[in-house]
Amino acid sequence: MKRTSQIQRFLGTLLMMAFFLISTFSTSAAQTAGIIDNADESGVRGWAINTTDPAAAAEVKVVITNQANGQTVAELITNASQYREDLVSHGTGNYGFDIPVPWSSYGDGTYLVEAYGAGQKLSGTRIHPVGDLAAANLQNSSSSLRSLGVFRTTAYCPCRKCSGGWGGRTSTGTIAAANHTISVDPRVIPYGSRIMIGGVVYTAEDCGGGVKGNHIDIFFNTHGETRAYGSRNVEVYLVQ
Ligand SMILES: [Zn+2]
């Protein structure tokens, strides 16, 4: 009996220590939200917000991986601290980043561009070609990109006209983001698929009543942008 109570006391102490560790860890871990807006010849741009402490600049790590062999060629680190008028509603507005990238030093090829803020992956993964061959492959599809053919693409935004009462929520439970979210017919493109349209890699994470068959609806922040986009027939690629 005495032995049992000793074991129970020991287990209780262990449990308390575990709770203490978990609560300490969860309060100190920074949460980061953000996105890569674009990647081009000059570098990689986007924004990141430390949502745990929006007054502090989030550290951003851009990871560049050669698609052909899966090797990481660069990990570039910067602080997201440039002023962005469009992000003032989240706090200081000092959340932009712009990292120059020495593409030519990596050699010809196709590169995956990913970014992390405090270890959490930002949305908006990109593919960037270096050299004429890679650029041509990206156009004509390559081993890492499989053409799905020509789809009708349209645009939508969180407004009531486009999204009814859903706002920025997607049918898979995520918050829709520009340069990231597309609405698909899940029977044609399964949820979670990464689809490249016009050089931007999107994630299939929404559906809509009007999106059937070879049709993709691309999420934009504003209704003006959806009108400007209109309807376009373009070749789309599955990123593998
Ligand atoms: Zn709209």
pLDDT band at 69 (very low <50, low <70, confident <90, very high): confident
Tell me the torsion sign for CA atoms 11, 13, 18, 19.
Answer: positive
pLDDT surpasses 70 at 11: no
The Å distance, Cα 86 to ligand 1 centre, comes to: 18
Tell me the torsion sign for CA atoms 111, 101, 93, 117.
Answer: positive
Contact 109, 103 (CB under 8 A): no
How many percent of the chain have pLDDT more than 70?
Answer: 83
Tell me the torsion sign for CA atoms 203, 209, 212, 218.
Answer: negative
Amino acid letter for position 117: G
The Å distance, Cα 47 to ligand 1 centre, comes to: 23
pLDDT at 48: 95
Neighbours of 173 (CB within 10 A): 7
The Å distance, Cα 220 to ligand 1 centre, comes to: 8
Each residue's pLDDT tens digit, 15-51: 555 554 444 444 456 788 898 888 888 899 999 999 8
The Å distance, Cα 120 to ligand 1 centre, comes to: 30
pLDDT surpasses 60 at 205: yes
The Å distance, Cα 227 to ligand 1 centre, comes to: 8
The Å distance, Cα 196 to ligand 1 centre, comes to: 22
Contact 46, 87 (CB under 8 A): no
pLDDT band at 167 (very low <50, low <70, confident <90, very high): confident
Contact 116, 122 (CB under 8 A): yes
Contact 155, 220 (CB under 8 A): yes
Mean pLDDT of the chain: 85
Tell me the torsion sign for CA atoms 81, 87, 91, 92.
Answer: positive
As a whole number, mean pLDDT of residues 115-135 equals 83
pLDDT at 7: 55
Amino acid letter for position 217: D
The Å distance, Cα 63 to ligand 1 centre, comes to: 34
Adjacent-strand bridge partners of 79? 59
pLDDT band at 190 (very low <50, low <70, confident <90, very high): very high
pLDDT surpasses 90 at 77: yes
The Å distance, Cα 125 to ligand 1 centre, comes to: 24
DSSP string, 171-202: TTSPBP-TTTEEE--TTTS-TT-EEEETTEEE
As a whole number, mean pLDDT of residues 160-174 equals 91
- The Cα 77–Cα 119 span in angstroms is 12
pLDDT at 185: 98
The Å distance, Cα 219 to ligand 1 centre, comes to: 9
As a whole number, mean pLDDT of residues 88-117 equals 92
Contacts (Cβ under 8 Å, ≥6 apart) of 152: 214, 215, 216, 231, 232, 233
Between 199 and 226, whose confidence is greater?
226
Two tokens at 57? 């600049």
- The Cα 30–Cα 26 span in angstroms is 9
45 half-sphere exposure, CB direction, 13 A CA radius: 10
CATH numbers and ranges of domains, the chain: 32-140 (2.60.40), 145-239 (2.40.40.10)
Across 10-14, 98-102, 125-129, 141-145, the highest mean pLDDT is recorded for 98-102
